Amino acid sequence: MKTFITFLIEKDESSEEDLYRFDHNGKDPTPTEFYVSPDGTRSGSADLISNEERENWTRKEGLFAGSKEHVAPYAVPRHIRWVTTTHTGSPTIYFDKSDEEKIKNSDPPTLSRYNPQGFEQIVKGSREYFSTSPVSPIHREKIKDPLDFIGKHYKIEFVDNIKAHKKHFMDNDIPHDSEGL
């Protein structure tokens, strides 16, 4: 059996990396209904996108996955709002202070790792992938401390008003990503 170091040394550098996703129900992931904006820059589940917006979006059923850095923010419970940016020089994630205890006291999420075959990149250059016929994960592990996991990929800050923080980014054309806002 190869060691992890041997695997890293032998791995073809041009090959795709494994993909990851978080699940919060403790079960194997199952395809879910999602919507993708006409230009492919936004996506989400039906409960996060208004009925009016959904009329022009493409409906898909499957699983989203991405790099560890891309999925790290999803280690928090569903419907926790966050904003990420790199404008500070390093990746930073912002949460609302009112959600801090919810995150700390949440059930541990499961990180699933997938072979990238069967997943397609949503938009060229993005770190988000989608599969309409996903296979079982290669590996699954419980993440006991979501903030510790996220902290390996992002500087974490809690702010008084996450909506105002996002608005500031939008008003000042600061590149960012967000969930639930």
Strand locations in 73-116 (E): 82-85, 92-96, 110-114
Which has the higher per-residue pLDDT, 11 or 178? 178
The predicted model scores a pTM of 0.79
pLDDT band at 124 (very low <50, low <70, confident <90, very high): confident
pLDDT single digits (tens) 67-96: 898 899 999 998 899 999 998 889 999 999
For β-strands 128-131 and 120-121, DSSP reports them as: antiparallel
Q: What is the rounded average pLDDT of the residues 163-175?
A: 94
pLDDT of residue 118: 85
pLDDT of residue 47: 72
Q: What percent of the chain has pLDDT over 70?
A: 90
- Cα–Cα distance between 94 and 85 in angstroms, integer? 9
- State how far the alpha carbon of 40 is from the alpha carbons of 12, 44, 62, in Å: 30, 11, 16
Kindly give, in sequence order, each residue whose CB lies less than 8 Å from that of residue 175, ignoring residues fewer than 6 positions away. 85, 86, 87, 169
